[in-house]
Structure 1
Amino acid sequence: MGRIGSLDVLRGVAILGTFGTNVWIFSSPAGLAAVLGGGGPLESGLRALSNGKFLALLSVLFGVGLAIQHASAVRRGARWPGRYLWRCALLFVEGALHYILVFEFDVLMFYAIIAVVCAFVVGRSAKVIRGWMIAAGALHVTVVGLLTLALFGSGLDGGGPTDTSSWRAQVAFRVDHVLALRSEGVLVLPLGVVLFLAGAQLLRAGALEKSARGHGVRRRLIGWGLGVGVPLNALTAFGGTDWALVDRYLCAPLVAFGLLGGITALVHRLGERTGPLRQGLTAVGRCALSCYIAQNVLASVLCYRWGLGITGGPLWTIGCFALVSTTVLIGAWLWLRRFPRGPVEMVWDFAYRAPSRLSSRRTRCLPDRSA
């Protein structure tokens, strides 16, 4: 299977979109409370544009990548999941380092765990995959429903502002409170299984293909996203903090499927025409892991007190998003003019191939017993 052009664009949109949610945590003096708090209509509307949607889209795209890896292994006759589990281990380590050193709401650790589970399911029959999706989806809806009922009337509280005056103190805080800060896994893990497997099934259904079959799939995705997801998302987004979990973990993923269909349709309609924005998004998509980390590092330097310490209201949040996103877009484009992949991806590739190189070296060093 050749490189899917729309997939790079989708990844680029998803990476920058996740920052559209995270930027509120960085740029506001209130930290996480700025995301969970009410705010005015303008602020609530701006947060609603990105909250949960692009994280869900990124999850679906990870599932697409999983299906591509599985198909490649089948074509080569390689054992599955085999070395894919090593990829998952590397992703978990990378996520753990990102969590400890950069950002307490890292998602890569969760993705690594979800990928291990889905790796053993992705090659099964459509019936088995559908059963896993239904079971995980039912569990997810139940957990979100119970938590919403338990918290209804009290809302969600992001706590007081986090002390950002010391990077070392932040690292210590993340280590000391790892269970509390990683508790989002109760919601992310079952939802991730659904979205990963949905991404795999959408790839096989031709959702990314420029064909009549793919066009039909995309029309249905857009219909669900716009006709069902957007109205429900709008109701919960402006319904107050009591509906925060429903908004982020139930309604937003529906909109994500519409985004996948709409963006893919637009890419196919544009054909070979590439402007600066599409080139930048493609570059970010090809350097997805590097850009995901880079945008959080840049925001930390800009907004945390151990850096420049610039925080403020919605206008600064918009400016911070624009500044960091533009830097990442241009930086990824310039990097790929000289290198084949992003810096983190280069380290990843070296680490992924290390066991094979070590095995080959040991084989060459074995004495020849044939004599």
Structure 2
Amino acid sequence: MVGGRVAALDVLRGVAILGTLGTNIWIFTTSGGAAGFLSGGESGFAETELRFLSNGKYLALLSIMFGIGLAMQHASALRRGERWPGWYLWRSALLLFEGLIHYVLIFEFDVLMFYALVSVLVAYLVGRSDKVIRGWMIAQGVLLTAIIGLLTWALFAGTAGTPSGGPPTDTSNWLAQVQARLDYAGLYRVEALFAIPLSTVLFLAGVRLLRAGALEDSERGRRIQRRLVGWGLGLGVPLNAITSFAGAEWFLVDRYLCAPVVAFGLLGLITMLVNRMRAEAGVVRRGLTSVGRAALTCYIGQNVIASILCYDWGFGLNGHGPAVTAALWLGISVLLMAGASWWLRRHERGPMEALWQWAHRAPQRLPALR
């Protein structure tokens, strides 16, 4: 524990946020933006290798961290004798609204909306028995595997693909992009088929891992961390590598089945390393911790910055190859770590976190709603 916080928690969240940027940056740097990304095209070896490093893993890690955070809020509410889920459902409503605004104005593949929906379900499950939680995880895992299995079969059979006449690939007009997100919401939000069952599994896994002591600097914590590393990296990385390089038909298996296994290994490895370090050791850890503490601000901020840098209504840094893409990811990551560190030395919370806190508490101050 550092200052009353779990030592590894903010670092894990910071790694997940910047790792998610490592996935999304390929969308921003594709000519035509999200529409161009969906239209596909063959990737070279260097691009495939770089995508392998990030695709799906860190979004899965972020989902696990969200589940851990939900479990911590549930435990805190019980200690204070508050009704659950109670005002947590207001948090979910705020997250849904924030995700909607983020989707329409900034980024086609927003995850906040999915998280908001899943958080309502998990809020009602978090207090149930381990048997019930495990049953929901198995059911949602089977559903996810069935959906991906059917769609992967369709890809191999040549009966699935991007429909013709899709969204416009012109990124020279921000208002036109906003309109396209509204017009093609069905296409851009179809990821819900995978994201909702997967997020349910990962949220509930986060709940169980926290209760099992997976983040602890203790013997039971280290035992769990070693198992996570062994299975998550020992099994997950080879499977993930195979599916990453096997061809586009394996994309869904790669992103939604193999990559989440690696995420558990990353959680174990990062927690193990952080628990062995001195508190606040090194500029990289301090930067990641700051990003983790201002996770919502940095998640939205990185997509705003990438939009300005990459789309043609901004600086137009798209279509220049994997080296430029990697450089943009590194530059934005350093900017976020430096900016978050600077801000948190002067303020208790990140800008979006402060706004969120105000919006969450505002109705609770009304006498009629107490």
TM over 0.5: yes
User: Which string of whole-angstrom CA distances, capped at 9 and with x for unpartnered residues, describes residues 201-249 of structure 1?
Assistant: 0000000000000000001100111221111101100011000000000
The answer to whether residue 339 in structure 2 is matched with residue 331 in structure 1 is: yes
Specify the code of the residue in structure 1 equivalent to 2:71.
Answer: A
Residue number in structure 2 paired with 1:368: none
Quote the RMSD (CA, aligned, Å). 1.7
Cross-structure match for 1:280: 287
Tell me the CA shift for residue 271 of structure 1: 2.9
Give 2:178's match in structure 1, choosing from 171, 195, 210.
171
Q: For the residues of structure 2 that align with 1:259 and 1:37, how far apart are their CA atoms? A: 30
CA contact (8 A) 1:66 1:200 kept: yes
**Equivalent position of 2:94 in the other structure:** 90
Q: Deviation string for 1:264-321 (max 9, x for gaps)?
A: 0000111325111100000000000000000000000001011111111101101111
Does the 8 Å CA contact 1:38/1:44 hold for their aligned counterparts? Answer: no
Shift of 1:38: 3.1
Structure 2 counterpart of 1:6: 8
Q: Which residue of 2 aligns with 1:369?
A: none
Q: Distance in 1 between matches of 2:299 and 2:169?
A: 22
Contact map agreement 2:294 2:340 (CA 8 A) in 1? yes
Report whether the alignment pairs 1:46 with 2:54.
no
Measured against aligned partners, the alpha-carbon deviations of 1:296-352 in whole angstroms (never above 9, x if no partner) come to 000000010111111111011011111111111111000001110000001100000
- Counterparts of 2:44 and 2:197, CA distance in 1: 32
Q: Is the 8 A contact 2:290 2:337 kept in 1?
A: yes
Following the alignment from structure 1 to structure 2, what is the Cα–Cα distance between the partners of residues 160 and 193?
30
Identity of aligned residues (%): 60
- Counterpart residue identity of residue 118, structure 1: V
Decide whether the 8 Å contact of 1:156 with 1:242 is kept in 2: no
> 2:108 maps to which residue?
104
Which residue number corresponds to residue 274 of structure 2? Answer: 267
Mark the runs of 5 or more structure 1 residues left unpaired by the alignment.
364-371
Work out the CA distance in 1 between the residues paired with 2:337 and 2:196: 30
Find out whether 1:118 has 2:118 as its counterpart: no
- Separation of aligned partners in 2, 1:59 and 1:322: 23
Query: Hey, what does 1:212 align to over in structure 2?
Result: 219
Amino acid at match of 2:155: L
Cα offset, 1:157, TM superposition: 4.6
2:144 maps to which residue? 140
Cα offset, 1:31, TM superposition: 3.4
* C-alpha displacement of 1:189: 0.3
Structure 2 unpaired stretches of 5+: none
The 8 Å contact of residues 10 and 293 in structure 2, kept in 1 or not, is answered as yes
Q: Relative to structure 1, is the Cα distance of residues 156 and 218 closer, same or farther in structure 2, using a 3 angstrom cutoff? A: farther
- Asked if 1:358 corresponds to 2:366, the answer is yes
Give the total of aligned pairs.
362
Measure how far apart 1:42 and its partner are. Answer: 1.1
Asked whether the 8 Å contact 1:29–1:161 carries over to 2, the reply is no
